[in-house]
Amino acid sequence: MVKVRTLMNNRAMNRLRAAPERALIQVVEGAKESILSDIMVSEVVPKQTGELERSATIDASKSKRGKVTITYDTPYARRLYWHPEYSFRKDKNRHAQGEWLKAWAEGAKTRGVTKAFKALLKKLAGGFIR
């Protein structure tokens, strides 16, 4: 029979536990405007007058729990977002569609935000994540 005794470094464990939250907060706070402009450049939001695109805001108040929301504050935003069967105009935004944030998140444009998060997570974890 083999006996094993382990000691956990509590400071290291706490640092590792807090790293994802801190990385998310730093990425979102530093990249709010670039995220919104990235969505605009990807041309996925339906556009007639541009009011829907301009109404976008990022709410990072729940980022400590790992949740960041992008909100569109127009009366018709929900209707347009959840009904992809609508025939959207493609003359102003060529990739306009319903559920446009899903298309943006799955596209190549989000790699910059993802890379920044991964780099910060590695840095804040103190070398425990490679």
**The total number of residues written for the chain in this structure:** 130
pLDDT for res 122: 77
The total number of structural domains in the chain stands at 1
Tell me whether residue 24 is in a domain.
Answer: no
Cα–Cα–Cα angle for 87, 102, 88, nearest 5°? 10
Tell me whether residue 44 is in a domain.
Answer: yes
Rounded CA separation 118/41 (Å):
23
Cβ neighbours for 86, distance < 8 A, ≥ 6 positions apart: 46, 80, 98
Q: pLDDT tens, position by position, for the chain (130 residues)?
A: 889 888 888 887 777 777 777 777 777 777 777 788 888 888 889 988 889 999 999 888 887 777 788 899 999 999 999 988 888 888 888 888 888 888 777 776 566 677 777 777 777 777 666 6
Tell me whether residue 39 is in a domain.
Answer: yes
Tell me whether residue 99 is in a domain.
Answer: yes
Structural domain including 61 reads 32-124
Alpha helix (H) residue ranges in 1-130: 10-41, 51-54, 77-81, 100-106, 111-124
